[in-house]
Amino acid sequence: MITDNARALLSTGTICDSCLGRPFADRSFGLTNAERGGALRTTVALADDEDFEPTDPADCWVCEGYCGTFDAIAETIVDELADVDFATYQVGTRVPPLVEENERLLREDAGLEPDVGESMKREMNREVGRRVGALTDTDVDFDRPDVLAVVDLQGFDPFETLESGTVTSHAVDVQINPAFVYGRYRKLERDIPQTEWPCRECGGSGVQLGDDGEVDCEYCGGSGYMYDTSVEQVVRPHVVEAMDGDEGTFHGAGREDVDARMLEEGRPFVLEVKRPHNRDPDPATLEREINDAAEGAVEVEGLRLATYEMVERVKEHDASKHYRADVVFGEPVEEAAFDAALAELEGTTVDQYTPERVDHRRAGLTRERTVYEIDGDLHEPTEAEVRLHGEGGLYVKELISSDNGRTEPSLAGLLETDAKVTALDVTGVEGEHEPFELEEYFRSEPRADRDDELAETAD
Ligand SMILES: [Zn+2]
Ligand SMILES: [Zn+2]
């Protein structure tokens, strides 16, 4: 009988309504534990015709006052998040081991199962979380919240808090999850790496040891980088600043060679911003800022706010590539032979042994890649333009040159002459089976825009 259990719990000593209600947390959905406990206390008093005595959490031997601190904790969390933009949150609590022990003792002394009902940790997370949500008009998200507040109950004295109504900020650790911007980039000039590339001589420090101490690194001229800039360095600072974050990471959907341009529709990427204080920058403004600052070397388009799933999407999604290559032959080539060689390569699956240039440390292996489509124009007997659409991972320079026989078949092999790519452009990166852009990986329109609309309506 529930009143017998409540009576047994009350006989263990002075306990507050929350602690009395928590063993019955699986009953009557919609009540708080404090409401369950208060009702049981009233029921027992009536059944036994005893004077009713309300109990203050400060006197509770189980929670030692913590059940009276929900409001104060929530207010501290909200203060800590004052300059952070978020739509979803989660609250976590570290409960002192002594209090957890009290919870077991309470149930044991009352002859109940040691873990019946709910733990204080769960009640604390829910009650504090509910208050945070109400104060900030945001929603709880147990999966991937924008912000996570972890409360360490040992970080404050509950009795002091019951007196003052405040909790020190030291007891609350606020974590801000990353935010993401998706887009496509074009690289209109050669010799720009996709991501920043620290100087191999000075390791990125920009200095080397001279006779009289540190001097500028000769190799990189003191910049610390192998190249003056990179797509990452063009894009990242603007996104990090717009989102008011700490740092950013560039994730590309594969990468082209440093000396290849990336043209036409561009290549998908995601910029991940750590600890963003603004999750809703206007992508159109951001796009303009990046393109203005890049002065034509790099362009971005189609920027949109994305979910974290988009990182894996751009990194893992199977994509085929379109290329345009300028090719020079060692000996003059006949038009008919050129056309026949391209016809031979179209639709062919090519065996490619890992090229020498790729990575000297990587163990070599032979991979099969398909040339979906290929065509070209022989401009001169020793000069041609070749355009092709190939499976992801196809090494195009080697498909042309044969890479000393490591790629079979190849254009050089079929024509029985040397062939070399002198300029390469990537003209398209597209998902093999479906596009990169899936609506479910994008966030709805930025809040800023909606605020603007509201402001306009209000005027
Ligand atoms: Zn209590
Ligand atoms: Zn250097």
Residue 448, pLDDT score: 46
Kindly state the DSSP code that residue 297 receives in the 8-state scheme: S
**Chain segment 265-296, per-residue pLDDT in tens:** 999 999 999 999 999 999 999 999 999 999 88
Helix residue ranges, H only, 244-366: 283-294, 309-316, 335-345
Q: Which two tokens stand for residue 396?
A: 């195009």
Residue among 339, 336, 352, 452 at smallest CA distance from 406: 352
Instruction: State the ligand closest to the CA atom of 198.
Output: 2
Residue 394 has pLDDT above 80, yes or no: yes
* SS3 label, residue 441: helix
84: CB partners within 8 A, 6+ apart: 147, 174, 176, 277
Give the closest residue to 21 by CA, choosing from 116, 153, 128, 113.
Answer: 116
Ligand minimally distant from the alpha carbon of residue 224: 2
At 456 the pLDDT is 45
**What pLDDT shows up at residue 211?**
85
Residues paired with residue 117 on neighbouring β-strands, in sequence order: none
State the maximum Cα–Cα separation within the chain, in Å, rounded to a whole number: 111
Closest ligand to 208 CA? 2
Q: Which of 392, 400, 399, 395 is nearest to 431 (CA)?
A: 392
pLDDT at position 445, please?
A: 56
Contact 74, 132 (CB under 8 A): yes
Expressed in angstroms and rounded, the spacing between residue 231 Cα and the centre of ligand 2 is 20
Q: Rounded to whole angstroms, how far apart are CA atoms 392 and 320?
A: 5
By DSSP bridging, strand 172-176 and strand 147-152 are antiparallel
Cβ atoms of 244 and 176 within 8 Å: the answer is no
Average pLDDT of every residue of the chain: 93
- Tell me the C-alpha distance between 63 and 99, whole Å: 6
Distance 208 CA to ligand 2 centre (A): 7
Please tell me the distance between residue 59's alpha carbon and the centre of ligand 1 in angstroms.
8
Task: Inform me whether the pLDDT recorded for 359 exceeds 70.
Answer: no
pLDDT for the residue 1: 81
Is residue 454 predicted with pLDDT exceeding 50?
A: no
Proximal ligand: closest to the CA of 58: 1
Question: Contact, 395 vs 407, CB < 8 A?
Answer: yes
- For β-strands 419-431 and 366-380, DSSP reports them as unpaired
Q: Sign of torsion, CA 157 159 161 164?
A: negative
Which range among 5-14, 48-57, 390-399, 428-437 shows the weakest confidence by mean pLDDT? 48-57
The CA distance from 243 to 305, in Å, is: 11
Confirm if 372 and 427 have CB atoms less than 8 A apart: no
C-alpha 194 – ligand 2 centre gap (Å): 19
Q: Is the pLDDT of residue 312 over 60?
A: yes
Structure tokens at 357: 């240039």
CB atoms within 10 A of CB 135: 15
Q: What angle do CA 111, 54, 48 make, to 5 degrees?
A: 60
Instruction: Name the residues annotated as catalytic.
Output: 257
CA of 181 to the centre of ligand 2 (A): 31
CA 36 centroid distance within chain: 41
pLDDT at 459: 40
Q: How far is the CA of 45 from the centre of ligand 1 (A)?
A: 19
**pLDDT for the residue 450:** 44
181-213: per-residue pLDDT in tens?
999 999 999 999 999 888 989 988 999 888 888
Q: Residue 345 and residue 398: Cα distance in Å, rounded?
A: 13
